[in-house]
Amino acid sequence: MIAPLLALALAAVDPCAPVQPVPPDPVTAQAYREVADAELAAGSRDTAAAAYRDALARDPSDEASRSALQRLCAAHGPDPFQDGLRRMDAEDLPGAARAFEAAFAADGNASAALLGGIARYELGDDEAAERLLRAAERDPAHREEARFYLGLLALREGDGARASSLLEGAATNPALASPALDLARLARRDGRVVLSLVAESGWDSNVNLGPGGPDGVAARSDGTAALAASALWRPRGARGPYLRAAGLLHNLATLDVYDLTGIEAAAGWQLRAGRHGAAAEYEYAHRTLGGDDYLGAHRLLASGWLRRGRAVAAGSYAVRFESFAGGWSPFSGVLHRAEARATLDATPRLRLGLAYAGGRDDARESVLSYWEHGPRAEVRILLGRARLGVDLGLTLRAYDVFDEALGARRRDTYLDGAAFVEVDLADRWTARAGIIGRNARSNVDALAYDKLAPSVAIGYTLGL
């Protein structure tokens, strides 16, 4: 979008440089002056300056060219707009923003207002960004680009209705239509309050993680049905505090002992400043299994991210204090998990991600405590109203001590895979089909298993 403006930096002609005379030729000089006048009328000051210089070189008595060149020279000075372009090209966003603001203040240049607004948006200075983008919006040449970024600002503020309206306005420009309409659709699901409901049905090839799961018997498959609901309240949009609550029902067709219910509530705070951000969250979760109390857990989470161009580096750490009920109580303890992640928007429609995670489960029973770590790769593809995703992960887990019951110090390797396709059926309705799978290997043969679980789901999301 800004490439044509950046190209101007390559075409600079100095109108203040001395003019070297050439053999007089008033006829040709007049042609140069006419070209210069036309270029100036078209707003091309560099080309106009070059032509006026040629006119003056061939006709030193040409006062019209001389005075036009003097005006261009006086206006030339240190050009803050060109300075802003150079700084933006060098990713000096604060410097670029200041330069564009100076250019806008000097002559009301709408291009400077647009680029200054974009720089301020990237820096997270939303108030200044909105002021500049509103100014750029008044110029028909930049109206759609300005509305696109004003829509992004509204999204960041959590004002989904205003964001979708602005993005639809931006979509009248064919070059922006695709991203703007995609974002407008997402904006209608966004807001300061977001409610969602997902119904899912599927099949699980190995509910009991056989042959070595809790029953110690062969794998048993079953049909599944699930319902999940969540509510998010963020009074200041994507930045600031938020509260979240969610509930989950996951029932099996015949193996009722594995029916799962869950509720969770969380409170957090997200900070965003330009190309980096951080979040902290507390969450309480409770689960029942087969109708009985199973788990109560308190989790603290901290995460941060940093964007550079099309790449994002992120890190997170979570600690969960787990309290299992009844016969599961030996699993109680403290679970730590840390992850480093890098993602790259290889193209506007293709995102690649690579992560490495490590975890430590410090269980009450040392025989159940372990360290684990491993890589994970993700691919996300945007195809119009559909999104495709493929994940692949490897986890190496080593338990702390020799388990006399197993006759071994357990070491497991998990290969996990997932694939899904998600389609926006309407503004707030989404259909999803996916499959997850795991190949678990262990030095204890009875604890090795395979699992496949395909599912289809439909979801409704409402942003207010």
Among 7, 16, 263, 390, binds another protein (CB under 8 A): 7
Q: Which stretch binds another protein (CB under 8 A): 47-55, 122-130, 292-300, 315-323?
A: 47-55
For the CB of residue 25, give the shortest distance to another protein in the complex, in Å: 10
207 binds another protein per the rule CB under 8 A:
no
Name the token pair of 206.
Answer: 């190995």
1, 28, 328, 448: which one binds another protein (CB under 8 A):
28
**Judged by CB under 8 A, does residue 13 bind another protein?**
yes
Q: Which stretch binds another protein (CB under 8 A): 3-11, 329-337, 394-402, 452-460?
A: 3-11
CB of 140 to another protein, least distance (A): 8
Does residue 177 touch another protein according to CB under 8 A? yes
* Binding of residue 174 to another protein (CB under 8 A): yes
**Nearer residue to another protein within complex by CB, 50 or 368:** 50
Is 39 among the residues that bind another protein (CB under 8 A)? Answer: yes
Judged on CB neighbours under 10 Å (0-12, 13-18, 19+), 7 is: exposed
Tokens of 218: 């062969």
Give the Å distances, CA to CA, from 73 to 14, 207, 433.
Answer: 8, 79, 64
Binders of another protein among 139-168, rule CB under 8 A?
A: 140
Tell me: does residue 426 bind another protein (CB under 8 A).
no
Give 140 or 326: the residue with its C-beta nearer to another protein: 140
Distances (CA, A) of 26 to 23, 64, 68, 152: 10, 13, 17, 55
Q: How far is CA 269 from CA 255, 279, 318, 463, in A?
A: 40, 6, 15, 19
The verdict on 32 binding another protein (CB under 8 A) reads yes
Q: Can you list the pairs that 355-361 forms with residues at least 24 positions away whose Cβ atoms lie under 8 Å?
A: 359/335, 360/335, 360/336, 361/333, 361/334, 361/335, 361/336
Could you say whether residue 425 binds another protein (CB under 8 A)?
Answer: no
Smallest gap from Cβ 379 to another protein, in A, equals 20
Say whether residue 135 binds another protein (CB under 8 A): no
CB of 69 to another protein, least distance (A): 13
- Quick one: 54 or 101, whose CB is closer to another protein? 54
- Contact flag: residue 50 with another protein (CB under 8 A): yes
Name the segment binding another protein (CB under 8 A); options: 28-36, 252-260, 332-340, 363-371: 28-36
171 binds another protein (CB under 8 A): yes
By CB under 8 A, residue 81 contacts another protein: no
Least distance to another protein, CB of residue 275, Å: 27
Q: Can residue 342 be called a binding residue for another protein (CB under 8 A)?
A: no
The answer to whether 173 contacts another protein (rule: CB under 8 A) is yes
183 binds another protein (CB under 8 A): no
Residue whose CB is less far from another protein, 43 or 78: 43
Q: Would you count residue 172 as binding another protein (CB under 8 A)?
A: yes
- State which amino acid sits at residue 106: A
Site for another protein in 381-410 (CB under 8 A): 384
18 binds another protein (CB under 8 A): no
**Least CB distance to another protein at residue 4 (A):** 4
175 contributes a contact to another protein by CB under 8 A: yes
Q: Quote the Cα angle for 328-329-333, to 5°.
A: 120
The CB-of-45 to another protein minimum distance in angstroms stands at: 10
From the CB of 93, what's the least distance to another protein, in Å? 23
- By beta-carbon proximity to another protein, the closer residue of 51 and 194 is 51
What residue ranges bind another protein (CB under 8 A)?
3-4, 7, 10-11, 13, 28, 31-32, 34-36, 38-39, 42, 44, 46-47, 50-51, 54, 140, 171-175, 177, 181, 384
